[in-house]
Amino acid sequence: MSQAPLAKPKPKSQPQGTDLPELLAQSILRLPQLVRIHQPNNKIFKENLILFIDTLNALWNIQNGQIDIRLHRGRLYINKERIAFSPALLVTSTKLMEFFESRRIFGFGFRPKEDLDAEEVVEFIQIVNASQNHEKPGVFLSEALKDDWVKPILDDDFKIAYLFTDEMASEGAPGRPLVWNSTPSEEGGKARRAYSRAMSEFSKLNDSINSAKGLVNFSKSRRVVQDLAESLFQNENILLSLSTIRDYDDYTCSHCVNVAILSMCLGRRLGLSKMEVATLGLGGLFHDLGKVDIPIELIRKPGKFTEVEYEEIKKHPLNSVCRILSLNADNAFKSKLFLPPFEHHININHSGYPATDLKAPVSLFGRIVAITDLYDALTSSRSYRPVPISPDKALEIMVKKSGSEIDALLLKVFINMVGIYPVGTLLVLNTKEVVMVADTPPNAEAGRPRAYILEREEETLKKGELIDLAEKNAKGQFARKVLYCFHPTEFGLVPTDILL
Ligand SMILES: [Fe+2]
Ligand SMILES: [Fe+2]
């Protein structure tokens, strides 16, 4: 390129995690316009270039490899997973769809490149603009983009198309999700209401802690956790499937409620009494309470923390203890609650934080909450990781820490409880059936679950037969093979609606 090298200007602010997919989409739309009206050294243009590079770097970091941004059947995806929609993103994705369609491509694949510089990005954008004048813009793009850090995606060979059988996929109206139309059972409805109450009471408690200096009454939170424990002793599966409810906009709240639920389920498996289970549940609910004392921008920061920032984050377990002590309840009861919040980031080998001189082993409740916290954090969308890790991969990551950081025995019971394919997971089988995991019977061969076949009826889905994935054919092999495993929210499905 002939122009003078571009100095690297400072961006106004670092890209925020929740916005990363949206920022990438917006940059792809904005930069081709800016390059037409501004000189390369224009301040606004430079800032946008750097924002684009920083966004890509953050995404490469989070995804640990190539980033594909593409439109498939009217939806925007980053790699294989659908981006959670916000109203603002709907506008961007519509524009981006037109942008891709007018160039007859499905998207762009960005391969990680260290020290990607502004000049290379300008070259990319100029080629994108030039492609408009070509008869076959997609072909032109793939030939003109010689650097392999960016390539156009020319075909729509996207696995998600096979979520339903081939003919179903071709029949489906693009972008129109199928709806679930049956009403949940009475038992399920009750558990769901208990979950919503837990969410609303906990968010009220969070708000009052944020605004009030005095003692905060938490008797209502206590009651909702007792209700959840009651549901658990009636039907474990209902509660387990509730924990798959994700509310991306209110991550902290749903994370804390999920940690409470998963901890209670694990506690019950270990033979704790209903009262102990409820106490454990509250400990789980309050484990991150101290995060209210940390600036929200820091909690939402994408990518790695600086050393100073990490020191700040590491204060939250101790903050949680202080917050619990200031709650309005008797001291004997509060003393039972603060161990899990204090210990949930201390590993069994005493690494982690906060650093203590204690030689005593981490308490049982602390070890339980450490497992459920990590599992829920890995399997949900986070500000620094917009795309969640699938449950089976999350368990794989946890198994690697087993025995050194995580209690091996408890992890075994936990995996047994959630199953290799947790309740609510969507599986696509080699038989072209799409199923939702219902439960994993104790001692199931190779941890293979039972699942409901999802049948399509026009624009709605229907719960079909319950099948056992441990079933074998005449040759003694498993009759069905799992091809793909998805989180149900990727397809807008709520497991509790289907399973309960
Ligand atoms: Fe935490
Ligand atoms: Fe947490």
pLDDT, tens only, 400-424: 999 999 999 999 999 888 887 878 8
The structural domains of the chain, with segments of one domain joined by +, span 17-157, 188-418
CA count, 13 A, side-chain hemisphere, 89:
18
Q: Report which secondary-structure segment, H or E, holds 59.
A: helix 43-63
Say how many Å lie between the CA of residue 291 and the centre of ligand 2.
9
The pLDDT of residue 224 is: 83
CA of 374 to the centre of ligand 1 (A): 9
Whether pLDDT at 294 is above 70: yes
Give the three-class secondary structure for 6.
Answer: coil
Give the ligand at the shortest distance from the Cα of 257: 2
DSSP output for 141-153: HHHH--STTEEEE
CA of 278 from ligand 1 middle (Å) equals: 20
Radius of gyration of the chain (CA): 25
pLDDT over threshold 80, residue 263: yes
Q: How far, in Å, from the CA of 258 to the mean position of ligand 2?
A: 10
- 3-state secondary structure (DSSP) of residue 216: strand
Q: In angstroms, what is the span from residue 255 Cα to ligand 2's centroid?
A: 7
Cα 95 from Cα 150, distance rounded (Å): 20
- What distance in Å separates the CA atoms of residue 137 and residue 302, rounded to the nearest whole number? 34
Distance 370 CA to ligand 1 centre (A): 9
- 381 alpha carbon – ligand 1 mean position (Å): 15
User: Is 355 a residue whose pLDDT tops 80?
Assistant: yes
Residue type, 404: S
The owner of tokens 């970091």 is: 61
| Residue 160 in this model has a pLDDT that exceeds 60 | no
CA of 287 to the centre of ligand 2 (A): 6
Q: Please name which ligand lies nearest the alpha carbon of 316.
A: 1
Q: What is the pLDDT of residue 277?
A: 96
Instruction: Tell me how far apart the alpha carbons of residues 162 and 426 are, in angstroms, rounded to a whole number.
Output: 13
Q: What is the mean pLDDT of residues 65-73?
A: 81
Over range 482-494, report the average pLDDT.
Answer: 69
CB-CB neighbours of 61 under 10 Å: 15
pLDDT beyond 80 at 386: no
3-state helix, strand, coil in the chain (%, to 5): 55, 15, 35
Q: Please state at what angle helix 408-418 crosses helix 364-379, rounded to 10 degrees.
A: 50
Distance 229 CA to ligand 2 centre (A): 20
**Least confident range of 224-228, 451-455, 456-460, 467-471:** 456-460
**Cα 288 to ligand 1 centre (Å):** 5
Residue 136, φ and ψ in degrees, nearest 5: -115, 80
Number of neighbouring beta carbons within 10 Å of residue 364: 17
Q: What average pLDDT is seen over the chain?
A: 80
Query: Pick from 434, 426, 402: which is nearest to 492 by CA?
Result: 426
Q: What distance in angstroms lies between residue 440's CA and the mean position of ligand 1's atoms?
A: 29
Task: Tell me the CA–centroid distance for residue 379 and ligand 1, in Å.
Answer: 15
- The Cα–Cα gap between 103 and 125 comes to 13
> Cα angle vertex 73, ends 68, 78, to 5°?
20
Q: What ligand has the least distance to the C-alpha of 255? A: 2
Q: Please tell me the distance from the alpha carbon of residue 177 to that of residue 167, in angstroms, as a whole number.
A: 16
Ligand nearest to the CA of 346: 1
Q: What is the DSSP letter of 352?
A: B
pTM assigned to the model: 0.62
Q: How far is the CA of 322 from the centre of ligand 2 (A)?
A: 16
Smallest-distance ligand from the CA of 343: 1
CA 317 – ligand 2 centroid, Å: 10
Lowest mean pLDDT among 5-19, 120-134, 329-343, 433-447: 5-19
d(CA 119, CA 432): 47
| Identity of the highest mean pLDDT range in 191-200, 273-282, 329-338, 454-463 | 273-282
CATH H superfamily, domain 188-418: Hypothetical protein af1432 (1.10.3210.10)
170 confidence band (pLDDT: 50, 70, 90) = very low
Least confident interval from 77-81, 273-277, 393-397, 492-496? 492-496
Q: Quick one: tokens of 178?
A: 């199928």
The total number of residues written for the chain in this structure: 500
pLDDT at 195 over 60: yes
What's the gap in Å between 299 CA and the centre of ligand 1?
11
Q: Which residues contact 268 (CB under 8 A, 6 or more apart)?
A: 232, 233, 236, 277
* Position 452 pLDDT exceeds 70: yes
pLDDT digits over 82-140, tens only?
Answer: 665 455 565 677 788 778 888 888 899 999 998 899 999 999 999 999 998 888 888 89
User: Is pLDDT above 90 for 208?
Assistant: no
| Pairing outcome for strands 327-328 and 216-217 | parallel
The residues near 457 (Cβ < 8 Å, ≥ 6 apart) are: none
**Residue 76 CA, ligand 1 centroid: distance in Å:** 31
Counting DSSP H helices and E strands in the chain, the numbers are: 20, 13
Ligand nearest to C-alpha 344 = 1
Distance 288 CA to ligand 2 centre (A): 5
